[in-house]
Amino acid sequence: MPKVKTNSSAKKRFKVTGTGEITFQKAFKRHILTKKSKKRKRAMRKDGVVGAANKDFVMRLLRLK
């Protein structure tokens, strides 16, 4: 019986915290930063948390469920 593989793109993008939340890096922080406000760029530094609507799907990609 072959092993079930974890989705390669998901394992690079998501991280599971100790409390079981799934975090990810915010988008739109790589380039064209001059037109974005300091407040917006500062908010993008923080990790995002996967919402309840998508959590089951992401957990399935990471083979946690």
Q: Is the pTM of this model over 0.85?
A: no
Supply 23's token pair: 């975090």
pLDDT reported for residue 5: 93
CATH fold for domain 8-61: Factor Xa Inhibitor (4.10.410)
Domain extents in the chain? 8-61
Q: What is the pLDDT of residues 3-28, one digit of tens each?
A: 899 999 999 999 999 999 999 999 99
Phi, psi of 2 (to 5 degrees): -75, 155
Which one-letter amino acid corresponds to residue 33? L
